[in-house]
């Protein structure tokens, strides 16, 4: 059983929170009315995709120290050298692109297709990413003058094989003897 002193203490405690919810509601409204905006600590990040035949390359470009990674491997470790040169072509093409590439980290994931089409897909993803990251048309125009295929995906695909032949258009030879 509760004695009178305890009962009065409980009544007083219940009276004070009744006045507090109005004050709490006012502070909650104030917080909603003026939220604090924090400056983004992360820099600008650009995501791009490029295709060549059945190869698809997805790249993310963000501020950094100039590292380029393809499938989490450094681009300088890629063999054969000819494919590496194809991948680095957009950067080596112009001084403006090289300046932008020095200040960003590029991470590319590529899958599907063969070695050559993967290299060309990576080349396209790097070119698109650098031109979008720079936000100027100078690099884009330089790349377009050199090779339009760097910035525009190749829509050509292999034609499917038909019956009566070994490939899509070739026909089986006829023998008369």
Domain contains 111: yes
The answer to whether residue 173 sits within a structural domain is: no
Dihedral over Cα of 131, 133, 137, 138: its sign: negative
How does pLDDT run along the chain (177 residues), one tens digit per residue?
Answer: 567 666 666 666 666 555 455 555 455 555 455 444 444 445 789 999 999 988 999 999 999 888 999 999 999 999 899 999 999 999 998 888 999 999 899 999 999 999 999 999 999 999 999 999 988 889 999 999 999 889 998 888 889 999 999 999 999 999 998
The pLDDT of residue 156 is 84
H/E stretch holding 47 reads strand 45-52
> Residue 158: what pLDDT?
85
Is 133 part of any domain? Answer: yes
CA dihedral 95, 82, 111, 150 (to 10 degrees): 40
- Hey, how many other C-beta atoms are within 10 angstroms of the C-beta on 116? 14
Whole-number pLDDT of residue 22: 53
pTM, 2 dp:
0.69
Is 63 part of a structural domain of the chain? yes
For residue 71, give its domain range. Answer: 45-150
Residue 15 forms part of a structural domain = no
Measured over all CA atoms, what is the biggest interatomic distance in the chain, rounded to whole angstroms? 121
Q: Does residue 32 lie in a domain region?
A: no
> What's the pLDDT score for residue 161?
94
**73 vs 121: CA distance, rounded Å:** 16
Contacts of 31 (CB under 8 A, 6+ apart): none
Instruction: Tell whether 49 is covered by a domain.
Output: yes
pLDDT at site 4: 65
Number of domains into which the chain is organized:
1
Q: Is residue 31 part of a domain?
A: no
For residue 146, the domain's CATH number is 3.30.230.10
């Amino acid at each position: 059983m509760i004695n009178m002193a305890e009962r009065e203490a409980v009544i007083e405690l219940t009276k004070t929170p009744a006045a507090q919810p109005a004050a709490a509601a006012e502070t909650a409204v104030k917080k909603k009315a003026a939220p604090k905006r924090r400056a983004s600590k992360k820099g600008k990040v650009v995501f791009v995709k490029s295709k060549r035949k059945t190869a698809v390359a997805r790249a993310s470009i963000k501020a950094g120290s100039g590292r380029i990674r393809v499938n989490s491997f450094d681009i300088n470790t890629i063999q054969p050298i000819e494919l590496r040169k194809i991948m680095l072509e957009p950067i080596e093409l112009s001084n403006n692109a090289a300046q932008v590439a020095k200040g960003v980290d590029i991470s590319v994931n590529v899958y599907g297709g063969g070695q050559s089409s993967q290299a060309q897909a990576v080349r396209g993803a790097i070119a698109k990413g650098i031109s979008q990251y720079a936000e100027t048309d100078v690099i884009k125009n330089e790349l377009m003058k050199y090779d339009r295929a760097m910035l525009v995906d190749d829509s050509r695909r292999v034609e499917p094989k038909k019956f009566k032949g070994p490939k899509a258009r070739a026909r089986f030879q006829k023998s008369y003897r």
